[in-house]
Chains A and B, each alone.
Chain A
Amino acid sequence: MKRIPLLYTAQGWVVLGMFALIVLIILPTLNLVVSADHPLYVSGYIINLFGKIMCYMMVALAMDLIWGYTGILSLGHGVFFALGGYAMGMYLMRMIGREGQYQSLLPDFMVFLDWKEYPWYWSFTEHFFYALSLVVLVPGVLAFVFGYFAFRSRIKGVYFSIITQALTFAFMLLFFRNNTGFGGNNGFTDFKWILGFRITDPQTKAALFMITGLTLILALLICRYIVKSKLGRVLTAIRDAESRVMFSGYDPLPYKLFVWTFSAVLCGIAGALYVPQVGIINPSEMSPANSIEIAIWTAVGGRGTLVGALVGAALVNLAKSWFTVAMPEYWLYVLGSLFIAVTLFMPQGVVGLLKKRERLKPAELSPTERSNTVSPKVKLANESVT
């Protein structure tokens, strides 16, 4: 218990508290209680959008843990996100009951393929808690197995990045197949109920939003705990000089494997929260481009700082939502330029830029963070290993 207050300074806790207040109380209240024509009213759209973005922020956290802190770039995190989403989606599909187009207990797409019963891997998914355990287990086990073999073979750097890309690409193709049993290209959609509540009710939505906010805060605290612990320091050491870590008598495998699996699980949870709010899960979530984007959120915000990942995910996605409406024909220019500008002028991301101004007070920075603001020369050496 002693360590926990050390996660953040008093000031940090206050800010976190404020965030919690806004997400958990103020926004839902403004959405549910205030009448629609009041200027302070927060529409369902905003709740939905922010709920979605918070899921993305969680994914960015997971990415930051594995890339920013451990130096392993995954270009396949989309697969864990989508698998978590699919696990939740299976439960939601089951809850539709006979309200589908064909009034069958089976989902429409199965009726359509002339399937008479659920395939074995759909067993028990009507139980919410079993589905929840799938959300954690499926991405977790996949990541564990994949990671175990990859790290044991000492696959590093771009080789690792590319095989994670191959992984997500293969899964995408697999899920696109109608015969795989996950609805093919259409995926899962048209959900009706969750735990007995109408999924379209504003109350359900606000509740989902609050749960997402709470999970995000918890995830942030756990991640913070990890990176501040001894484990976190070993991870950073692996990032900076893996050979030296090995020479010092550490076996990097369990460390890498732990953080890799944890990161995948976090993605899975984010995916599970994402699906009921967005209302659709489809294999294109696993497309390599989506996974690259996850890396980009993290880089824009600033790698190696948890806050950076959050800021990056929020910033890029808000920009995307905003520009696709404000300038539908030109938004790609803006987004593209943003990525280029960030890499060229803000190598530490947005947060790095903000931090630069505070460089005068380095005492406030924790040891981990200090190690992230290393001189360019050391930085170069770090990168050559990643």
Chain B
Amino acid sequence: MKRRNFLTLTVLAASLAFAGAARAADTIKVGVLHSLSGTMAISETVLKDVALMAFEEINAAGGVMGKKIEPVVVDPASNWPLFAEKARQLLTQDKVAAVFGCWTSVSRKSVLPVFEELNGLLYYPVQYEGEELSKNVFYTGAAPNQQAIPAVEYLMSKDGGEAKRWFLLGTDYVYPRTTNKILRAFLKSKGVDDKDIEEIYTPFGHSDYQTIVGNIKKFSAGGKTAVVSTINGDSNVPFYKELGNQGLKATDVPVVAFSVGEEELRGVDTKPLVGHLAAWNYFMSMKNPTNDAFKKKWAAYTKAKGLSSASKPLTNDPMEATYIGIHMWKQAVEKAKTTDVDKVIVAMAGQTFKAPSGFVAKMDEKNHHLHKPVLIGEIKADGQFSVVWKTAGPIRANPWSPFIAGNESKKDEPVMAGK
């Protein structure tokens, strides 16, 4: 008897899952694949919100080819196998035209085979380590040459403080490892000795930075030092708090971070951190009409939806990248006059969009990455950044860094034919 009950349950569940497959024809379904619970919710929730805002905006302006966008939001709960499962579900059950999502490298790696197998379309909005190029993915975040290398060049310059010694500090996973590998090769090419580079990794969720900050102090006694931090999300707050309390000031040892933006600083008292740096392709503090409109829209949206961030609506780089990605997808669909993945991919090449950064972002004709400006900002007392250096215009991404051996022969475009 027990077994029969179990079977009933199984069949019931299966039929429930089937029921979800029904779809309406007058809308275009798109998927939003961001963790709303678990450890990554802190960063990803806001990307889901900004995506929904962009859809609403497009719908209000008449939709895509006259059809309304119907977002399908799922919660992969910061669980990597669940990311793959949800991606498969979005593509096969909901038959979405495109998916906007993922934050961590591992989540992207986890869904990548699914997107390639089912020929889906993923827009990935976060800065990452490069070393990847898939025909089914458009990378709207920065590649290392659009973030890490210019930042280090700046710190070597007179204005950046002419740093001679480098403390590379990161969380132990692929993005910091790759970035530091590229940086080490780059620094060597600039004549920096191995003994002047220190590379330290901490586990995920590390919260006790006493020893490490002490080590930075010790290391910096040997000469003008800069810290390059690729510490991930949650660990930044304890790190910066320790930094402030141990009296390591930006004028002595500047810290440049690649994963710290306006949202991450939300939980920190930034007064002791004034002068520490971050490198991005967008800062909320940028002054231009597009950004003003973007910020206003976001503030209004958070208020209208009663989001908890409404009291202090912040925008940041991955939000901008999400926003750009959605609009470019819309333009590409309208250019291709279909949501067919292969045709949209072709239509994506060379798309341009006036981004909130004030620059015109362009999708590269070949390599699926955006041309983006590089900006370096110093933390101000109010938690915003003041831009102290920027490139003259958008620069092209190098997903295959020339500083990694074996990449010289890599073609700068995805393999189009089926593997």
Contacts and interface: CB of A to CB of B under 8 A. Distances in A.
Q: Do chains A and B touch in the complex (CB under 8 A)?
A: yes
Given A184-B177, A279-B84, A314-B6, A189 B17 contact: no
Interface residue SS majority, chain B: helix
Interface in B65-97: 72-77, 79-82, 84-86, 88-89, 92-93
Contact of A190 (B2, B4, B93, B112): B112
Given A45-B89, A324-B75, A358-B1, A176 B204 contact: yes
A186 B2 CA distance: 40
B389 interface: no
B203 A173 contact: yes
Interface stretch (B7-15, B292-300, B366-374): B7-15
A278 B178 contact: no
Interface string A175-190: 0111000001111011
A105 interface: no
Interface in B8-55: 9-10, 13-14, 16-17, 20-21, 36-37
B4 A15 contact: yes
Nearest to A14: B3
B89 to A, nearest CB: 5
B93 A186 contact: no
Contacts of A307: 2-3, 6
Contacts of B286: none
A307 to B, nearest CB: 5
A45 B94 CA distance: 11
Contacts of A44: 88, 92
A15 B177 contact: no
Given A176-B203, A189-B113, A322-B17, A328 B84 contact: no
B36 A279 contact: no
B398 interface: no
Given A111-B406, A190-B109, A310-B6, A184 B85 contact: no
Contact of B109 (A46, A280, A285, A354): A280
A99 B415 CA distance: 12
Interface string A208-236: 00000000000000000000000000000
Contact of A176 (B74, B77, B172): B172
A279 B7 CA distance: 27
A322 B10 contact: no
B3 A185 contact: no
A312 to B, nearest CB: 10
Contact of A15 (B3, B112, B404, B419): B3
B5 interface: yes
B208 interface: no
B181 A112 contact: yes
A318 B80 CA distance: 17
B382 interface: no
B173 A189 contact: no
B332 interface: no
Contacts of A329: 36, 75
B109 A177 contact: no
Contact of A311 (B9, B80, B88, B404): B9
B74 A328 contact: yes
Nearest to B75: A328
Interface residue SS majority, chain A: helix
B6 to A, nearest CB: 5
Interface in A32-83: 43-46, 48-50, 52
Given A43-B93, A328-B36, A176 B20 contact: no
A311 B85 contact: no
Given A19-B3, A200-B113, A102 B92 contact: no
A16 interface: yes
Nearest to A177: B172
Given A15-B4, A46-B14, A314-B9, A186 B20 contact: no
B278 interface: no
Contacts of A321: 17, 85
A280 B81 contact: yes
Nearest to A99: B419
B114 interface: yes
B122 to A, nearest CB: 14
Contacts of B174: 109, 112, 178, 184-186
Given A112-B178, A176-B172, A279-B84, A351 B2 contact: yes
B153 interface: no
B2 A354 contact: yes
B252 interface: no
Interface string B196-222: 000001011000000000000000000
Interface string B155-171: 00000000000000000
Interface in A294-351: 305, 307, 310-311, 314-315, 318, 321-322, 324-325, 328-329, 331-332, 351
Contacts of B6: 307, 310-311, 314
A191 interface: yes
Contact of B106 (A46, A111, A186): A186
**Most central of A11, A22, A282 by chain B CB within 10 Å:** A282
A306 B93 CA distance: 32
A49 B74 contact: no
A113 B203 CA distance: 18
B269 to A, nearest CB: 30
Nearest to B72: A325
B75 A282 contact: no
Interface of A: 11-12, 15-16, 18-19, 22, 43-46, 48-50, 52, 99, 101-102, 104, 108-109, 111-114, 173, 176-178, 184-187, 189-191, 200, 278-280, 282, 284-285, 305, 307, 310-311, 314-315, 318, 321-322, 324-325, 328-329, 331-332, 351, 354-355, 358
Given A190-B113, A318-B10, 5 more contacts: A112-B404, A176-B204, A185-B105, A186-B174, A187-B106
11 contacts: A18-B3, A50-B14, A111-B406, A177-B172, A185-B104, A186-B109, A186-B173, A278-B81, A307-B3, A314-B6, A324-B76
